[in-house]
Amino acid sequence: MVITSSELAKFLSVSWNTAEKYLLELAVENKVVKLKKEKVNLWMLK
């Protein structure tokens, strides 16, 4: 499953910054992987 920070923000009804913070915390915990494609951050479950 691949998701963007914006998609997660809409799904959780939070700001983009909050969604990005949650995703970065999950990346530190090694639960998701951050992929950079052009100008978009994509997140993938491990």
Residue-range domain boundaries for the chain: 2-45
Tokens of 21: 């913070």
Strands 2-4 and 32-37: unpaired
Share of the chain above pLDDT 90, in %: 83
Distance, in Å, from the CA atom of 41 to the CA atom of 1, rounded to the nearest integer, reads 14
Distance, in Å, from the CA atom of 39 to the CA atom of 31, rounded to the nearest integer, reads 22
Confidence (pLDDT) at 39: 87
Give the neighbor-by-neighbor strand order of the sheet with 2-4: 2-4, 40-45, 32-37
- Model pLDDT for residues 2-24, shown as the tens digit of each residue: 999 999 999 999 999 999 999 99
Could you tell me the pTM of the whole model? Answer: 0.86
The number of angstroms, rounded, from the C-alpha of 14 to the middle of its chain's C-alpha atoms is: 13
